[in-house]
Amino acid sequence: MPKKGENISLTSYDDLFETDESRAESQLERVQNIPVRELIPFKNHPFKVLDDEAMLRTTESIAEYGVLTPLIARPLDHGGYEIISGHRRAHAAELAGLAEVPVLVRDMDDDAATVLMVDSNLQRENILPSERAFAYKMKLEAMKHQGARSDLTSSQVGTKLRTDQVMAKELGESRNQIQRYIRLTNLVPDLLDLVDCKQISFNPAVELSYLSPEEQETFLQAMDEVQAAPSLSQAQRLKKLAQEGNFTMDAAREILNEVKKGDLERVTFRNEQLRRFFPRSYTAQQMQDTIIKLLDQWQKKRSREHER
């Protein structure tokens, strides 16, 4: 018999008759409305969130219809939620003035969250080489951690090989191509930007990744002076010079000077550099025609000034 004054804890009616199915259902993930200010970007998120034309369209859509596809995020120990999938939607929602967005809150460890973050973003149509490079690197490292935990008796080399094979199969890439993309993470930022802008092709960039950061900076200076991008064979020769300890500014300049005159005179612009000067309705051909017309007017004006 309980002592006088002792608290007696009684099971509630709902708890008493709750079924295993209903208890399991209560543990299922649910979409919650989370304040935008509590959403934090994924640590070292490799995919760029740009205020470009695509972001403008997304912002306009969200302002009119709201966020139709919930974000995925995980709760953080110190408060807030780390975005796993939906960085662009979160940014667009903030630009559209939304206070809250629908979020599927999911408890995940670092490695599982990294793999999901990469996989969900790789579904996008246009991915920059730098984004793919760092994404592949992050996913491979996370999968290696997961593999090491599940098979502690395997060797480090063996785990790496199995991880490469699994990842290659998932992505539909060869193991060699995955490693070539990861090589790009060894490029200095300015050089990697040139790869994203298509001023340096992918294959030459992989060869240049074997240069030390100091040698890459020297190469950039030589490239700026000569105004030429390297071909694959030229990049391979630059790599060989570096491996032999013979890489110098003069050597880089000499190799780059071998580029044909037609390549030296080529001038390229990124689409976003030109778009800000034209109405959104303009096609690429209309922009080109307008630029040629303005240059023609400028040339005629210069001619008149010289005749005076």
- Quote the pLDDT of residue 156: 47
Same domain, 93 and 118: no
Same domain, 225 and 181: no
* CB-based contact 73:39 (threshold 8 Å): yes
Same domain, 148 and 211: no
Same domain, 123 and 180: yes
The total number of structural domains that make up the chain:
3
Same domain, 124 and 56: no
Range of the domain at 203: 187-264
Q: List the chain pLDDT tens, one digit each, 308 residues.
A: 445 444 444 444 445 445 555 444 444 578 999 999 999 999 999 999 989 999 999 999 999 999 999 999 999 998 999 999 999 999 999 999 999 999 999 999 999 999 999 999 998 878 999 999 999 999 999 998 877 555 433 444 444 456 878 888 888 889 999 999 999 999 999 999 999 999 999 999 999 999 999 999 999 999 999 999 999 999 999 999 999 999 999 999 999 998 544 454 566 776 767 777 888 777 777 888 888 888 888 887 877 776 66
Buried b (16+ CB within 10 A) or exposed e, 31-57: eeebebeebeebeebbbeeeeeeeeee
* CB-based contact 29:104 (threshold 8 Å): yes
- Quote the pLDDT of residue 149: 55
Q: Is residue 116 part of a domain?
A: yes
- Quote the pLDDT of residue 159: 46
Q: Is residue 233 part of a domain?
A: yes
CA-closest candidate to residue 30, choices 59, 73, 66, 77: 73
- Quote the pLDDT of residue 148: 57
Strand 100-105 to strand 81-85: parallel, antiparallel, or no bridges (unpaired)? unpaired
Write the burial class of residue 283 (CB in 10 Å: 0-12 exposed, 13-18 middle, 19+ buried).
exposed
- Quote the pLDDT of residue 160: 45
- Quote the pLDDT of residue 140: 93
- Quote the pLDDT of residue 19: 55
CATH number of the domain residue 66 falls in: 3.90.1530.10
Same domain, 173 and 133: yes
Q: Is residue 290 part of a domain?
A: no
Tokens of 45: 């998120």
The rounded distance, in Å, linking the Cα atoms of 257 and 266 is 14
